[in-house]
Structure 1
């Protein structure tokens, strides 16, 4: 699974607990979007989570 290029947020592993108390492993993935952003002044395609996009940590390229 890919990670956010800005904050490093990645996949998290935990346990799903059913009503009958059966425990199974599951994963939570971040909402990653492939965007064209400025990296060191040059436009590149990077994977960024929506939280970083919304907060303005990424300057999008046109």
Structure 2
């Protein structure tokens, strides 16, 4: 499973790291993804969500006492 945000689809971006001599080497910028348990239908499932979606409440987190459904891939 790729590390992509469940809500907004944010994924790593790629570019060049530039040294003092401006020599280019490839690098990637990863989004701040957290593994959280979210409400999915009647049950819950564990997904990757970026912190900007968590702070904006775009992902419905599971509260204590909610029944969990078996995870399907």
The normalised TM-score by structure 1 is 0.90
Gaps of 5+ in 1: none
Structure 1 outlier segments of 4+, above 2 Å = none
Separation in 2 of the partners of 1:40 and 1:28? 33
User: Taking CA–CA contacts closer than 8 Å with sequence separation of 6 or more, which of the two structures ends up with the larger relative contact order?
Assistant: 1
The normalised TM-score by structure 2 is 0.78
Separation in 1 of the partners of 2:42 and 2:61? 11
Give the corresponding residue for 2:47: 46
Deviation at 1:42, TM superposition (A): 2.1
SS of the residue aligned with 1:59? Answer: coil
